[in-house]
Amino acid sequence: MSGPVRVLVVEDDPVAADAHALYVGRVPGFTAVAAVHSLAEATRVLERTPVDLLLLDLTLPDGHGLRFARGLRAAGHRADVIAVTSARDLAMVRESVSLGVVQYVLKPFAFPTLRERLLRYAEFRAAAGEAAGQDDVDRALAALRAPAAAQLPKGLSAPTLDRVAALLRAAPGGLTAAGAAEAAGISRITARRYLEHLVVTGRADRTPRYGQVGRPELHYRWLAAAGSVSNV
């Protein structure tokens, strides 16, 4: 494989589309050739621009992404597809696999999730030559399989993290640890641990707010890009 993998981002949310394209550009060996917001726009780009991989939302204003993928295959287009969606219907996952979708990424997600999927795709794409046996075939296919989800730091639980993340996403002005603690029904110290975890994993940021006296209070805000695109 010579040159970077050329990726077309197809996502109806302009903020998420820009975030996806930015994420793609941060992964070595990949470049985003365009970010479009409809299947009609995607078709026009594919007609004039070489594309190796589509980062394809499945719910778009002018049609369903899987029907679009089926049409690409019928037309002989060889671009691979990574489906990006908030849909958790396993029947849709099975249909995606039957259409040759190489990865299925649930929204919202953070940069590390997409980076890991793209690097695995690159490893799969780079496999060449004739397999010496079943082991070589298995290794090539295994490159597409995501590893088991990383465990949370000791003392953090997924349900509480989900709750704190949802509260932060729903607060346009952000939250303090005290505010998150009250809303989630947990202690301030516990809330801060979860908020700091969201910062470390790139889903939130924090800024000090200075009052009249005393130490500044940390204010946490969900990142716009992560809001549409982090795995919590």
- Annotate 96-150 with DSSP letters as a single string: HHHTTEEEEEESS--HHHHHHHHHHHHHHHH--S--SSHHHHHHHHHTTSPPPPP
Q: Using CA atoms, how far apart are residues 44 and 19, in angstroms rounded to an integer? A: 21
Q: Output 123 or 211, whichever has higher pLDDT.
A: 123
Mean pLDDT, the chain, rounded, equals: 83
Share of the chain above pLDDT 90, in %: 38
What token pair was written down for 90? 């396993």
Of 49, 23, 186, 201, nearest in space to 117 by CA: 23
Phi, psi angle pair for 113, to nearest 5°: -65, -50
Q: Using CA atoms, how far apart are residues 23 and 34, in angstroms rounded to an integer? A: 13
Share of the chain above pLDDT 70, in %: 81
What token pair was written down for 147? 């590893």
Residue 25 has pLDDT above 90, yes or no: yes
User: Rounded to two decimals, what is the model's pTM?
Assistant: 0.61
Q: Taking a C-beta distance cutoff of 8 angstroms, is the pair 53, 79 a contact?
A: yes
Q: Virtual CA dihedral for 212, 216, 222, 224, nearest 10 degrees?
A: 70
What token pair was written down for 35? 């970010």
The reported pLDDT for the residue numbered 193 is 93
Q: What H or E segment, with its residue span, contains residue 102? A: strand 101-106
The reported pLDDT for the residue numbered 185 is 94
Residue 134 has pLDDT above 80, yes or no: no
Residue 39 has pLDDT above 90, yes or no: yes
| Mean pLDDT value of segment 154-168 | 88
The reported pLDDT for the residue numbered 78 is 85
Residue 76 identity (one-letter amino acid): G
Residue 95 has pLDDT above 80, yes or no: no
| Mean pLDDT value of segment 124-131 | 67
Q: Work out whether strand 175-176 and strand 53-57 pair parallel, antiparallel, or are unpaired.
A: unpaired
Of 114, 122, 67, 123, nearest in space to 95 by CA: 67
- 230: confidence class by pLDDT, cuts 50, 70, 90: very low
Residue 41 has pLDDT above 90, yes or no: yes
The reported pLDDT for the residue numbered 130 is 62
Q: Taking a C-beta distance cutoff of 8 angstroms, is the pair 209, 173 a contact?
A: no
**Highest mean pLDDT range out of 25-34, 69-78, 103-112, 135-144?**
25-34
Of 16, 60, 59, nearest in space to 35 by CA: 16
